[in-house]
Amino acid sequence: MQYFAPVIRSLMLLTVHALAHVSMAQPYVPGQTYFGGGGYIEYRCGDLPLVISVPHGGALVPSDIPDRTCNDPVFAVDANTVELGSAIDSVYATNEGCRPHVVICHLARRKLDANRDLEDGACGDPQAAQAWSDFHAYIESAKEQVIAAAGKGFYLDLHGHGHTVQRLELGYLLYEDELALEDATLNTSTYIDYSSIRALALDNELGISHAALLRGPQALGTRLADRGYPSVPSQQDPIPLPGQPYFTGGYNTLRHSSYQGGSIDGVQMECNFTGVRDNALNRARFADSLRVALNAFLDDHYFGQRPSCAVSVEEVVERPSCSLWPNPSDSFVSVRVQGKGEVLAVEVLDGSGRVVALGDTRSPIDIRSLAPGPYAVHVAGMGGGCSLSSETRLRPNGTESSAKPKESKVGPWDVAKGDECQLSGEVVPLGLLH
Ligand SMILES: [Zn+2]
């Protein structure tokens, strides 16, 4: 749709300028959660140079807001993306003690489309219009805080697609036929000016090109694909093939990225369902991989090393921790939950989320029948799982591992740091048991 691209882009620009008066004077505190009018928009204030919005995962259908009827509205909900946004927030808080800014629309899309302009998004309803304003004002406020603290940063608009090809679609406002252009063309000012990573393409730490930022070895898509989440564009999959549906990025990416100017770049991330957002285990695992990929992306291109943030988000301190021992193991593994005297049920899950072994915290769990590989552990009845950062993954027994259990003089629970884990709000990233 190259022909229409300039027209759509200029219309969006006018719309955004007309709305530039929205601002938030209220000071927000990292770690605190705020709600807009009617409780429809949630803002979790963060302290990282990262802003995540979730416009299409809401489930609320208040009867006093009519269903949208204007301009052929789309009602499809991006299933489980609110839960995925929460998992991303949680995995940052658990692993790093600091967190991104997260803005969530809880209204169902039939009541408000928070990735459209005001006219098409709220269809003239005053409550929906208020929620729309709250959604964007929270994002604007988060961006202002990022600029004040770090000078630049990244915005991610989180969605879910229903396309057949199970891969992440990263929309940088470039159409399929533009992504198909050779690097030298993508690196011209014409295409950099179309891009949602415009500011980064003009100035980044490694001095690499626009095309390299989209699909080179240090691209976000490449980092995600490296961790087992196929992505387009990436080095592994640089261009959607003709006929393959692909989302290039919508209103939010146009409005909140450096396409409009400023030093906060952005992307519309469309997540496939299977293995990414279909169940709590996969959401938690993907959230952790996304965290690692985003950290690498920010370190590589923005900061060298990210600015430190205020540690000690309350829930991190309050969560009980659990330990696995030994890890890795090829025979039995024990799970201990700190401060919990009662016996708790334990499930061992494989990479596709299937329960492959059962036990409890009272006695070692037999895993001798399992093939070597990564597994997760879920402690039932705790409202969470025993979580290990994927950065601390261990290798199967018999191979070298920096996080191998060390010989202990004080008892089996004096394990390597890599085995420390915490109960997350939303279940389980990955531990490697075998
Ligand atoms: Zn969506």
Tell me the per-residue pLDDT of 136-171, one tens digit each, with 9 for 90 and over.
999 999 999 999 999 999 999 999 999 999 999 999
What pairing do the DSSP bridges indicate for beta strands 386-387 and 420-423?
Answer: antiparallel
Rounded alpha-carbon distances, angstroms, from residue 220 to 92, 232, 271, 285, 294? 17, 10, 14, 17, 7
pLDDT digits (tens, 9 = 90+) for 94-104: 888 889 999 99
**What is the 131 CA–ligand 1 centroid distance (Å)?**
17
Using the mean position of ligand 1's atoms as its centre, give its distance from the Cα of residue 273 in Å. 12
Cis check: omega of the bond before 100, within 30 degrees of 0: no
Q: Whole-prediction pTM value?
A: 0.72
Span 171-197, mean pLDDT?
Answer: 97
**For residue 225, what is the enclosing H or E element?**
helix 220-226
Ligand 1 centroid – CA 267 distance (Å): 13
Strands (E), 211-350: 231-232, 264-271, 321-325, 332-337, 345-349
Q: Which pLDDT score is estimated for 351?
A: 64
Give the integer Cα–Cα distance in Å for 93 and 99: 5
Q: Which residue has the higher pLDDT, 1 or 62?
A: 62
Q: Is the dihedral of CA 144, 148, 151, 154 positive or negative?
A: negative
List the alpha helices (DSSP H) in 53-206.
81-96, 118-122, 126-150, 176-179, 183-186, 189-192, 198-202
Average pLDDT over residues 119-133: 97
Q: How far is the CA of 308 from the centre of ligand 1 (A)?
A: 32
Region 299-313: mean pLDDT is 69
Q: Which pair of structure tokens corresponds to residue 243?
A: 């006929």
Predicted local distance difference test score (pLDDT) of residue 322? 67
Give residue 187 CA to ligand 1 midpoint distance, Å: 29
Distance 4 CA to ligand 1 centre (A): 21
- Residue with the bigger pLDDT between 399 and 134: it is 134
- State mean pLDDT over 108-121: 97
Distance CA 204, CA 414 (A): 43
d(C-alpha 204, C-alpha 220), whole Å: 14
Query: What's the pLDDT score for residue 208?
Result: 97
What pLDDT was estimated at residue 79? 95
Amino acid making up residue 120? D
Q: How many angstroms does the Cα of residue 75 sit away from the middle of ligand 1?
A: 10
Q: How many CB atoms lie within 10 A of CB 220?
A: 29
Ligand 1 midpoint to CA 161 (Å): 7
Read off the pLDDT of residues 355-375 as tens digits, 9 standing for 90 and up.
688 787 778 888 888 877 767
- Residue 81 Cα to ligand 1 midpoint, Å, equals 9
pLDDT of residue 289: 92
CA of 41 to the centre of ligand 1 (A): 16
What's the CA gap between 5 and 122, in Å, rounded? 24
55-69, 275-289, 336-350, 373-387: segment of lowest average pLDDT: 373-387
* pLDDT tens figures, 211-261: 999 999 999 999 999 989 999 999 999 999 989 999 999 999 999 999 999
**What is the whole-number distance in angstroms between the Cα of residue 209 and the centre of ligand 1?**
29
- In words, the CATH class of domain 2-303 is alpha beta
Phi, psi at 190, each rounded to 5°: -55, -50
Distance between Cα 97 and ligand 1 center (Å): 29
* Measured distance CA(39)–CA(398) in Å, rounded: 53
Half-sphere exposure in the Cβ direction for 401 (13 Å, CA): 24
The more confident residue out of 31 and 382 is 31
Run of H or E including 378 = strand 376-379
Task: Give 232 Cα–ligand 1 centroid separation in angstroms.
Answer: 17
Two structure tokens written together for 149 = 């603290």
Question: How far is it, in rounded angstroms, from Cα 385 to Cα 335?
Answer: 11
C-alpha 158 – ligand 1 centre gap (Å): 7
Evaluate whether 135 touches 142 at the Cβ level (below 8 Å): no
CA atoms within 13 A on the CB side of 20: 8
The Cα 155–Cα 338 span in angstroms is 37
Quote the CA–CA distance of 404 and 416 in Å, as a whole number: 7
- CB count within 10 Å of CB 318 equals 7
Cα of 76 from ligand 1 centre, angstroms: 8
Q: How far is the CA of 57 from the centre of ligand 1 (A)?
A: 8
Q: What is the pLDDT of residue 313?
A: 39
pLDDT band at 69 (very low <50, low <70, confident <90, very high): very high
Mean pLDDT of all residues belonging to the chain: 80
Where do the domains of the chain lie?
2-303, 319-423
What average pLDDT does range 128-135 have in this prediction? 98
From the CA of 29, how far away is ligand 1's center (Å)? Answer: 28
pLDDT at site 87: 93
Terminal-residue alpha carbon distance, the chain: 50
